[in-house]
Structure formats: C-alpha cells, structure tokens
C-alpha cells in the first residue's frame, strides 16, 4: 500500500453541479493490491546471468499475479460505512471515478457525502493486468453492439431523452474506457480478490472504540457483471454490511427455488442454485438494486431491451426470494419513480448526482450513514 497523502493532509478539489464551489477535503488516499497468487520457479536465481528483457531466465524467480488493485480516498469527517466499488464486463474501476464527459464520477459524489470510496480493478483488468493465464488478445470490432446492449439507443441513433451526452467526443471517451480481460475467467479468483479487498478496507477504516453497529463493515457497490461476484462475496464474508447493485447481470437462489430459465435474443438468463445456509446470509443484510430505462416487459427484437428484460425479471424474482425468507431487499426501477432516460451506465449518466442522492437516502434509511 502506498499513501499519497499523509493522515489529515488537506487535499482540496473543486467541482461543478450540486456541490459547485464546495471543497472536498481528503484525509488520505492511496492504493493496494488484494488477493492474488505468487508463482515460484524451481532452482536458484543467478544474478550474474542475463537472458534478455523479454525472455528472462526464470529459474529461482517469482511471479505475482491474479490480484485486484484497489485505489481509495477517505474524506474528512468520514462516515463509518466505506463503499467498495466493483466494475462490470469490459471495464475497470475508471467507470466509477469520472464520467466520459469529464464530470465527477459516482465515487466522488459519494465522497462529497463523506463516504470513504474504495475502487477495484478486478484481476486481469485495468491496472490489475498481471495474470497467470496464457492468453492472446485479438482486436474485435464490437462498439456498435455495446452501444445497443448498454441502451444508449439503437446505433447510430440515441434515445431521444437519454441521460447520456450525445456528442461524438463523449462517445469516443466512453468506448476508450473499455479494457481487455486477460484473466483466467475464474470466478473463484474474482471472489477471493474481492474478499481480500473487503478485509483490507475494514482494517483501514475501522474506528477504534466505535460504538456504531456498522463499524468494521463494508457496503459493496456493484455494476453489471460485477453483481454476481458481489453476491458470492457477500455470502462468504461477514464484513459485508450491505450491497447496492446497479443493473446486476446474474443472481443466486436457494437450491430448489431457482426460477425457470429466461431465454432472450442475447442468450438465456439463468439463476444459480446455492445451499440455503449460504443464501440466508443475503437475508441478513440490506440489499438494493437499481435499474434504468428502456427495458421492455414483453419480448422484443431490440438487443439492449432484450438483454436487460430477462435480467430485470430475474431481479424481481431474486428480490422476492430474499424477502420471502425474511430479508430486506429493494428493487428500484427508476422509470417507476419518474426518473427517465438512464442507460446501463447509470452511475455516469447526466443525472448521476440525482442517483447519488437516491443512494445516500437509502444508506440513511438503513442506518448506514453514521
């Protein structure tokens, strides 16, 4: 871990929007690695031999890989509920930090509300690219597909009321945020790194002698494909005090209670069975999920609508299952609140300040804002 600001150092930032002209004071910031493995080659390292920069003599040497990288910022007067942000497919923690058009990202908006922000790059992605997998990267032209899947519109046309900026520069920046996945595509590796990050976050933010019931706990904030490892991490780590998930792509259910698979134009959405004793953990913590706009109720021939139609329906069944077993799960469908125009990337849409207020309100309702 490297701290780039000493404890209680005054680091001042300026912003626009709801917090225009207000200072943001940080106590500290930095980064650390979480999880991962160390590969040790047999033999003895000989520092008198040189095999080449690209072809070193591996004998006796080590190789660290498959870890996550977590950057963090802790604000002054920090609340005792650190937020651990987990990105989805094709991205990195960058999606939480800034918007493609240069506005403050969701993590900064929550920092302004005095929540410590810990932002992950999962193993094999972004800054955590050191992998144990042998892989070949092949350029594939797919940006128009993602334009549709992520519900910006139907390429090349944007939805008329979309909350995504419609200028070419923003779209260019948006696509350039995408990063390849060079991991071994191992869910256990992702969950292990998330769990390690949870424990490290707790250790860093614990307040000695705190009487808050939320002390020493983390709120997971997940997006899209990051939602599924988020559920697994919450079931496996008691340091998770709540989960907020933005359009999660996958769900778990108790064995014997898995809904029927839901076919769609982009594939079939299926719940994953887990033992009841594991699922019960999700009934012990508050959970909230947020879904945006342009998700139909009926079958359609539109890629984005179809992809998220079945995932929203599965989210409804997931919410019902948790609450049926005595849990506290809330599904927020933003259009039903009159909040229109949100894409799959809700946290960076033009109204992300409004969504940050909504999230903060939920945290306060759950007594997680102390």
Host domain of residue 101: 2-39+64-130+160-261+343-365
pLDDT in tens, 197-239: 999 999 988 753 333 444 569 999 999 999 999 999 999 999 9
pLDDT in tens, 253-305: 999 999 999 999 999 999 999 999 999 999 999 999 999 999 999 999 999 99
d(CA 22, CA 369) in angstroms, rounded, equals 21
Residue 1 has pLDDT above 80, yes or no: no
Q: What is the pLDDT of residue 212?
A: 41
Residue 17 has pLDDT above 70, yes or no: no
Domain CATH for 205 = 3.40.50.1820
Residue 156 has pLDDT above 90, yes or no: yes
Q: Which range (45-49, 159-163, 164-168, 202-206) has the least confidence? A: 202-206
Contact predicate 71/83, CB 8 Å: no
Q: What is the pLDDT of residue 21?
A: 57
Contact predicate 290/319, CB 8 Å: no
pLDDT in tens, 308-333: 999 999 999 999 999 999 999 999 99
Average pLDDT over every residue of 114-131: 97
Residue 26 has pLDDT above 90, yes or no: yes
Task: Please classify residue 370 by burial: count the beta carbons closer than 10 Å to its beta carbon, then call 0-12 exposed, 13-18 middle and 19+ buried.
Answer: middle
Q: What is the pLDDT of residue 40?
A: 98
Residue 9 confidence class, pLDDT cut points 50, 70, 90: very low
Q: φ, ψ for residue 342 (rounded to 5)?
A: -80, 140
Give domain status of residue 278, yes or no.
no
Global pTM value: 0.92
Strands 153-154 and 252-254: unpaired
Give domain status of residue 89, yes or no.
yes
Give domain status of residue 268, yes or no.
no
Q: What is the pLDDT of residue 215?
A: 55
Q: What is the pLDDT of residue 205?
A: 86
Give domain status of residue 237, yes or no.
yes
Give domain status of residue 167, yes or no.
yes
Task: Please classify residue 212 by burial: count the beta carbons closer than 10 Å to its beta carbon, then call 0-12 exposed, 13-18 middle and 19+ buried.
Answer: middle
Give domain status of residue 361, yes or no.
yes
Q: How many domains does the chain have?
A: 1
d(CA 57, CA 47) in angstroms, rounded, equals 10
Give domain status of residue 194, yes or no.
yes
Residue 170 has pLDDT above 60, yes or no: yes
Give domain status of residue 189, yes or no.
yes
């Amino acid at each position: 871990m490297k701290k780039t600001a000493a404890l209680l150092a005054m680091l001042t930032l300026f912003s626009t929007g709801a917090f225009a002209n207000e200072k943001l004071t940080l106590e500290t910031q930095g980064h650390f690695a979480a999880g991962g493995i160390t590969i040790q080659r047999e033999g003895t390292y000989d520092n008198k031999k040189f095999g080449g920069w690209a072809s070193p003599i591996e004998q006796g040497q080590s190789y660290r890989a498959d870890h996550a990288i977590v950057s963090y910022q802790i604000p002054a007067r920090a609340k005792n509920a650190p937020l651990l942000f987990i990105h989805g497919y094709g991205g990195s923690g960058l999606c939480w930090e800034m918007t493609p058009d240069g506005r403050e990202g969701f993590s900064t908006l929550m920092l302004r509300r005095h929540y410590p922000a810990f932002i992950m790059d999962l193993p094999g992605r972004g800054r955590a690219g050191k992998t144990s997998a042998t892989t070949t990267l092949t350029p594939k032209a797919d940006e128009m597909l993602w334009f549709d899947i992520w519900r910006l519109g139907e390429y090349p046309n944007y939805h008329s009321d979309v909350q995504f900026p419609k200028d070419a520069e923003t779209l260019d920046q948006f696509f350039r945020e995408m990063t390849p996945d060079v991991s071994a595509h191992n869910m256990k590796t992702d969950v292990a790194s998330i769990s390690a990050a949870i424990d490290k976050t707790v250790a860093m933010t614990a307040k000695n002698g705190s009487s808050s019931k939320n002390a020493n706990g983390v709120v997971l904030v997940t997006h899209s494909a990051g939602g599924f490892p988020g559920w697994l991490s919450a079931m496996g780590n008691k340091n998770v005090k709540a989960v907020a998930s933005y359009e999660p792509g996958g769900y778990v259910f108790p064995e014997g209670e898995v809904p029927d698979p839901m076919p769609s134009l982009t594939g079939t959405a299926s719940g994953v069975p887990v033992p009841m004793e594991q699922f019960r953990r999700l009934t012990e913590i508050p959970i909230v999920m947020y879904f945006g706009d342009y998700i139909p109720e009926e079958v359609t021939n539109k890629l984005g609508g179809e992809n998220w139609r079945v995932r929203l329906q599965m989210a409804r069944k997931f919410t019902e299952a948790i609450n049926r077993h005595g849990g506290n799960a809330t599904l927020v469908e933003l259009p039903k609140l009159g909040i229109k125009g949100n894409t799959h990337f809700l946290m960076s849409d033009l109204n992300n300040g409004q969504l940050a207020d909504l999230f903060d309100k939920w945290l306060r309702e759950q007594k997680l804002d102390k």
